[in-house]
Homo-oligomer: A and B are copies of this chain.
Amino acid sequence: MLDVLLTNLLSPIVLAFALGILASLARSDLEIPAPLYQALSIYLLLAIGLKGGAALRATPLSEVVGPMLLTFGLGVLTPITSYNVLRKLGKMDRVNAAALAAHFGSVSAVTFIAAQAFGTLTGFESEGYMPALVAILEIPAIVVALMIANVRGAMGEEATWQSALHEVLTGRSIVLLGGGLAMGLLTGPEGLEPVAPFFVEGFKGALVLFLLELGLVTARRLRDLKEAGWFLVAFSIVMPIIHGVGAVWLAGFVGMSIGGAAVLGAMVSSASYIAAPAAVRIALPQASPTIYLTAALGITFPFNLALGIPLYFAAAEYFLG
């Protein structure tokens, strides 16, 4: 067990994340140019989609329907649980609770990739169609959370959940991920072959650069941690564990493998820091970015990367092993 933990902590992607944090704390002038960060995120999302789409083509529909419905259901459920815990236990105001709910209901693509890589490393390969689940999980949570905010009358002047839905659906993450899935589905594994050296083999290395940048950004968030208060810190660790372990448990009922269940757990537990912040900033301008970014990027992401992912795999082995 400790061995597995160490393997995870010493993987290049976790180390790159740590290097980014350390460089920022040491006030290094290291910076990833914005176009490089954008290029990496376009590449990573498209690559995930392509691989997932090609795998999806080889999977019988009957096998994926269950996991897809489960994922959709969790995408609707987790923002609601998050919102209620924040309101009732945390006494948080409605707007900020809804904003956080959108983040914790949605999904962090990098957490997904890290979980998948961890599975490969430890011999628990996850299902090839998982990227389709990422796309499914990305959408409902943001809409549900904004609907909650709307019902309660906290919504900004002109924003509605319909326009937020449009924003999310045409946002670059869904377009690239969904577009990649469609491309992979249409072209199939043979069609993918000529582009594999670029999109498949280069993938893990490109991820290292991406995590270096995430480390630099996270470090800036860590400075806001003291303002966050103990409840937010606890919430950003405990809620993901509950969501994640719950998802692992449910995944067993729809026939997912140990690896697949654990990766789904990591996805459900993770908090979005790309699609959700953009949508929430426009639709709920009164919500404090300091709160939701610190929680999603400063606490939940590093926690999952270092400890959460091994935990969800342990849970999957326990429930399904």
Which residues of A come within 8 Å of B, CB atoms?
A: 10-12, 15-16, 19, 22-23, 26-36, 38-39, 42-43, 46, 50, 117, 170-172, 175-176, 179, 182-183, 186-188, 191-192, 194-199, 201-209, 212
Contact = CB atoms under 8 A, between A and B. Distances in A.
Nearest to A203: B198
Contacts of A170: 23, 26-29
Given A34-B35, A183-B12, A23 B175 contact: yes
**Number of copies of this chain that the complex holds:** 3
A34 B39 CA distance: 10
A208 B195 contact: yes
Main SS at interface, chain A: helix
Nearest to A208: B195
Nearest to A22: B179
B204 A202 contact: no
A33 B39 contact: yes
A116 to B, nearest CB: 12
Given A195-B208, A199-B205, 9 more contacts: A11-B191, A12-B187, A15-B186, A27-B170, A33-B34, A33-B35, A39-B39, A197-B201, A198-B204
Contacts of A33: 34-35, 38-39
A187 to B, nearest CB: 5
Contacts of A198: 201-206, 208
Contact of A43 (B23, B179, B209): B209
